[in-house]
Amino acid sequence: MTDAFLDTPTAGSGSLTSRVTSAAVTLPVLIVAVWAGSPWFTALVAIAAGTAGWEISAIAGIKNRALVATVIVGSIALIAAGDFIARQTALASLVAPFALVGALAGLLALQRLRAPGNDFLRAALVIAAIAYAGGLLFHAPLLRNHAAGMEWVLFLLAVTFATDTGAYFIGRAFGKRPLAPSISPSKTWEGAAGGTLAALAAGFIAYQFMATQAPVWQVVVLAGIAGIAGQLGDLAESKFKRVFDAKESGSILPGHGGILDRLDSIVFSLPVVYYAVKWVIT
């Protein structure tokens, strides 16, 4: 998430009241969509991916309307493809890792393809934006389509929110040692540790309400790894914005910034939970 939720608030991130109000409006919609499943859940994820693609385009300086539309449509198409592939078990196992690698490659490319001066580089920037905006969220319909998909998506959300909250409050109370000062000066090692501990606690609590037959230690360890992945996602998005001198990804959510600011933790935790549930958790 943004610096507003980790360690110390940043200028322009909005008041605590506006952040709570936005969360109170959006969270019920998200939970209902998770409960309803496809097509409603997929539609919500597609909207988020398309909006993220639009924000990435703005940050990266993609101004041509046709190219921006390509990023938005391409990001949405990846989610639609994920929804289709989710019903094809063998195909999902084959394609999903490529989506993950493509998304991470896209993020790295976005941090290097600044102000491309020719058509080839502009095309590469568009592809990178699509890959990052849709490649990680591609795993959302795959996870939701799992036999216990609703439980695991809610688990993912609970762990992510707990990580952000723990990092925020522990960082504010005890944060002294900068975690990555060149990327996000307000984040501290103490806040990161607090977020990880909160993730572990959330995993243990969530386990009590889940029907999984997996041992509790597997679920708690997964929660801790997902919490760490979410914090790395936050830093990755902060690095991307810093490259382009952007404070926030947008202003669509009062007090929260843009959609990308809300997704940065979840999109990194999402593949971790998906692959763990698919290949490791018994």
What pLDDT digit, counting tens, does each position of 146-199 carry? 989 999 999 999 999 999 999 999 999 998 999 999 888 889 999 999 999 999
Distance, first Cα to last Cα, the chain: 30
CA distance 1 to 231: 8
Residue 109 has pLDDT above 50, yes or no: yes
What is the total count of domains within the chain? Answer: 1
Instruction: State how far the alpha carbon of 35 is from the alpha carbons of 30, 123, 157, 224, in Å.
Output: 9, 38, 13, 24
Q: If pLDDT is split at 50, 70 and 90, which confidence band does 256 have? A: low
* pLDDT at position 69: 97
User: What does the pLDDT average to over 34-50?
Assistant: 96
- For 180, the 3-state DSSP assignment is strand
Distance of alpha carbon 275 from its chain centroid, rounded?
Answer: 15
> Quick check: 130 and 73 in contact, CB under 8 A?
no
- Of 152, 282, 169, nearest in space to 223 by CA: 152
How crowded is residue 122: how many other Cβ atoms within 10 Å of its Cβ?
17
Q: The pTM is what?
A: 0.88
Enclosing domain of residue 263 = 3-279
Q: If pLDDT is split at 50, 70 and 90, which confidence band does 96 have? A: very high
Instruction: Answer with the residue of higher pLDDT: 232 or 248.
Output: 232
* pLDDT at position 7: 37
Q: If pLDDT is split at 50, 70 and 90, which confidence band does 23 have? A: low
* pLDDT at position 228: 97
